[in-house]
Amino acid sequence: MKLVKSMTALLCAAQVGLATLASAAPLSITLPPETAAFKPSTMPGYALAQQKCSVCHSADYINFQPPGMSLAQWTAEAGKMQHVYGAPISDQDVSVIGAYLAVTYGSAKANDADVQAASNAPAVAVAKVDAKALLQNNACLSCHAIDHKVVGPAYRDVAAKYAKDPQAMDRLMSSIQHGGSGKWGDVPMPPFAQLSPDDLKSLATFIMSQ
């Protein structure tokens, strides 16, 4: 009888505990702000890495790779991001980013002939790109959506915020080009320094039309 009473008491205590957990407020976790950054360089791959690599992972990922990797190894690593993980980078981007990483973090030298050839990969001539293609090609939709917040604000919220601002287009173009944080939260937006003025204008116009 005593055993039955003890078991009943334990079950009651467990039920009370579960009920308390169920009614408790959800746990809120605040992550520290991102502090890792790509090593500065005058090579064109530096801006591309800031713009496109940081969309998917921290710059700290680079430090996890073996030291002294060659141009071929770093280019293969960038290619893996493109083909295996679906990173929004072109074959040309792979070459340019690989060259930057090989010189800045690996064993290559900036004046190596193969590095210079990779860094100066000729741009592919393309027809005028519309805003939706720009959003897709630059991974903008990984962090934004039209009508709801993802990592960054919804484009409709951005349009509403700047609806009465006569400098809205210039402000948006500058924000896209230079990136930043603090306007919509602590998560930083990477800079898109390699977008042309026409591309920046197309994106800003699209956002303001939402």
The three-state secondary structure class of 180 is strand
177, part of any domain: yes
Q: Could you say which of 66, 96, 119 is where a domain stops?
A: 119
On the CB side of 205, how many CA atoms lie within 13 Å of its CA? 10
Instruction: Report CA dihedral (141, 147, 152, 158) to the nearest 10 degrees.
Output: 110
200, part of any domain: yes
- Report, as an integer, the average pLDDT of 69-74: 92
Rounded to an integer, what distance in angstroms lies between the CA atom of residue 180 and that of residue 189? 5
Model pLDDT, residue 142 = 87
**80 and 148 belong to one structural domain:** no
Rounded to an integer, what distance in angstroms lies between the CA atom of residue 141 and that of residue 151? 10
Confidence bin at 124 (pLDDT 50/70/90): very low
Residues 6+ apart with CB under 8 A from 206: 131, 132, 135, 155
**167 and 103 belong to one structural domain:** no
Confidence bin at 126 (pLDDT 50/70/90): very low
Tokens describing residue 150:
């993802």
Residue 11 predicted with pLDDT over 80: no
Q: Could you say which of 119, 147, 163 is where a domain stops?
A: 119
**145 and 197 belong to one structural domain:** yes
Model pLDDT, residue 58 = 80
Contact 69, 115 (CB under 8 A): no
Q: Could you say which of 119, 143, 175 is where a domain stops?
A: 119
The parent domain of residue 146 ranges over 131-208
- Report, as an integer, the average pLDDT of 67-79: 91
Rounded to an integer, what distance in angstroms lies between the CA atom of residue 180 and that of residue 187? 9
**114 and 50 belong to one structural domain:** yes
0.75 exceeded by the pTM? no
Q: How many residues belong to the chain?
A: 210
Structural domains of the chain, count: 2
**135 and 114 belong to one structural domain:** no
- Report, as an integer, the average pLDDT of 54-74: 86
**136 and 80 belong to one structural domain:** no
> Which CATH number characterizes residue 90's domain?
1.10.760.10
Residue 187 predicted with pLDDT over 90: no
Rounded to an integer, what distance in angstroms lies between the CA atom of residue 181 and that of residue 76? 32
What is the per-residue pLDDT across 133-177, written as a single tens digit (0 to 9) for each? 888 888 888 889 999 998 889 999 999 999 888 898 999 999 999
**140 and 202 belong to one structural domain:** yes
Confidence bin at 30 (pLDDT 50/70/90): low
5, part of any domain: no
